[in-house]
Structure 1
Amino acid sequence: MEAFWIPSESMVPTLEVGDRVLVNKFIYRFTEPERGDILVFQSVVAGEDQDLIKRVVGTPGDEIRVQNGQLFVNGEPQNEPYVNRALPDESFYGPVIVPEDSVFMMGDNRANSQDSRFFGPVPYENVEGEAFLLFWPLRNFGSLL
């Protein structure tokens, strides 16, 4: 396990800047990421050496499309109660197919998130682990699963 500090607003309202989470760095040795998992991963942007945190919205073979801010996976609109409704997303993206051994990542704060819509799918080899517990601030202590 490793503690991770939230550096940006890309996961608001689920995670705020300065929150701290625990990351299970062992889980994906036994299983693959699933839609809905919150992952910490190494940036795929060339020359950028930083860890990011986003939510998995697509797994290998999934067709991803965003139409007026609504996420569609394999042609089906997704119910995403965790998305930031205070800052509506009106973007358009795709469609793209998630390649093998990769995941498509998006922040919960869709209108303010640099994610796979900008840098593409994230290869499994870049995945550090799954965020599973918000432990700071204590008033927000709880499971992310």
Structure 2
Amino acid sequence: MSLALVTFWRASDYRLGVDVQRFTGEPSCLPFTLFVMHMQADRPPQRGDFVVATMPDSGLPLGARPGARILKRIAGVPGDQIRIEGTELYINGLHRDRLWLAKSLPGKQPGDFDLDLTLADGQYFLLGSTQESFDSRYWGPIHREAIRGYAHPLF
């Protein structure tokens, strides 16, 4: 019975995920500890979805690992206006957050991340759930092809 369950789980498109940052003493970027990942991006992403994506190359000069998987919430969808001025982030003209990490990234200043763009078809702007999250505020939007699946919080 248990062998059948393990075989089914491994052959399926579902994975169990744990936010390990909670156990290392680092700030967690997610509002939950345990989640199920559905590793099929079989529907269009929507604002508010938690997605599993591949880190874009634009994050690599800032210390990200090539091909690293990230889990973030979609904050901007195609057609949204994204503006970053200094340390302030605006989405569709509404203040959403600050760039809390801008001063601590090696060789970077807050103005280095200034941005004013409308997300094109297939572009998404991702945010973590905490101010310390390393997300689209620092490496820009991701493309639809980078989204590998969706995450569903358990607790």
Q: Give your verdict on TM over 0.5.
A: yes
Count residues with an aligned counterpart: 120
In structure 1, the residue matched to 2:18 is 5
Q: Distance in 2 between matches of 1:124 and 1:5?
A: 24
> Counterparts in 2 of 1:17-36, with a 5 A limit?
19-26=33-40, 28-29=41-42, 31-36=43-48
In structure 1, the residue matched to 2:146 is 126
Q: TM-score, normalised by structure 2?
A: 0.63
In structure 2, the residue matched to 1:75 is 93
TM-aligned CA deviation for residue 11 of structure 1? 2.0
- Structure showing greater radius of gyration is 2
Structure 2 residue runs without a partner (length 5+): 1-13, 22-26, 103-109
Q: TM-score, normalised by structure 1?
A: 0.66
In structure 1, the residue matched to 2:8 is none
In structure 1, the residue matched to 2:54 is 42
Structure 1 residue runs without a partner (length 5+): 135-140
In structure 2, the residue matched to 1:106 is 127
Aligned to 2:145, the other structure's residue is in SS state helix
TM-aligned CA deviation for residue 22 of structure 1? 0.3
